Amino acid sequence: MDKVAFLFPGQGSQKVGMGSSFVTDPKVTALYETANETMGIDLKELMIEGSEDLLSRTSIAQPAIFVDSNARYRLLIEEGIEPDCVLGHSLGEFSALGAAGCINFEQGVRLVKKRGELMEDINVKGTMVAVLGLDYTEAEKLIKEVDESVTVANYNSPEQLVLSGREEPLDKACQYLQEEGARCIELDVSGPFHSPFMEEAEGKLRDYIDKLDFEDPEVPVLSGVSGSFETNGDGLADLLGQQMTHPVKWVDYVRALGDFGVDITIEAGPDATLTKLTRRILPDIECKTFDEVI
């Protein structure tokens, strides 16, 4: 029997209209009602027909993506499609933990709301830049030659990195990388995420996580910090508390799927970003989007 992994996307996957095809499905309506009560706003309306600017705010986008991903997870399960393991990209790890039963849905909404608020309120003027077209090991070496305060936040594919840092050093690094043939695209984010600049926010989130009870997951969860499949709830909670300053090593995570024996991935999100990245890393795995299986 084929081994299946569910992939959960991170911030940036949100878009107005997300979930509109199933928002009234009785199998998931209770999730939207719980999210609205927990958030104290009509999150469902924002997701379906709100403003793009408001939905893109970190403190709104993160709960919206968590709700959307968990609704898709429930619908996949209702169709009899069950994962053998789960993993997420940055914020997506919280969705994966919710899907795996480590935290209940309401706890998850509160947790990602807190995470989004902390990330939105960081007292550091910085940003993130995607770097495309260079082998990531070569790009990483070049970055270190320019400015050590610029760090790699995401290893998305063999030819795609995301950098974090203050604006001036990032501009300098990008000029150098572009001279070497790279393409640099500034991302629409509120800070230099997945970098040492997030230390203060990470500490506050860890204090919040420590107050929650994490159950052992129903299926193995690939931790974004350890890079391994974890089956202990307390261990996953501890690792999650280190995630904000840790780079997202998506290339390594996907290769770990291959080692785990995964045959099929299904992206529980509104687009195909992780599906496309995964295909580039492990072309032998069958990669599907939610819409292709539901």
Q: Where in the chain is the domain with CATH 3.40.366.10?
A: 4-121+196-293
Instruction: Give the separation between CA 130 and CA 210, rounded to whole angstroms.
Output: 33
Q: Where in the chain is the domain with CATH 3.30.70.250?
A: 126-186
Sign of CA dihedral 15, 119, 230, 214: negative
How is residue 82 written in tokens? 């069950």
Instruction: Give the separation between CA 252 and CA 258, rounded to whole angstroms.
Output: 10
- Contacts with 63 (C-beta within 8 Å, 6 or more apart), sequence order: 35, 39, 43, 109, 112, 113, 116
Q: Mind listing the pLDDT tens digit for each residue in 165-187?
A: 999 999 999 999 999 999 999 99
Please name the fold of domain 126-186: Alpha-Beta Plaits (3.30.70)
Instruction: Give the separation between CA 3 and CA 183, rounded to whole angstroms.
Output: 36
Q: Mind listing the pLDDT tens digit for each residue in 215-232?
A: 999 999 999 999 999 999
Catalytic residue among 13, 194, 195, 223: 194
The architecture of the domain spanning 4-121+196-293 is: 3-Layer(aba) Sandwich (3.40)
- Would you call 90 a catalytic residue per the annotation? yes
Question: In Å, how far from its chain's centre is CA 53?
Answer: 20
pTM here is 0.97
- Would you call 194 a catalytic residue per the annotation? yes
Query: In the predicted model, is pLDDT for residue 12 greater than 90?
Result: yes
Q: Which DSSP category does 213 fall into?
A: P
Which amino acid makes up residue 122?
I
Instruction: Give the separation between CA 228 and CA 21, rounded to whole angstroms.
Output: 34
Inter-residue contact 207 to 111 (CB < 8 Å): no
Catalytic residue among 90, 95, 157, 195: 90
* Cα–Cα nearest to 87, from 12, 4, 5: 5
Q: Mind listing the pLDDT tens digit for each residue in 54-77?
A: 999 999 999 999 999 999 999 999
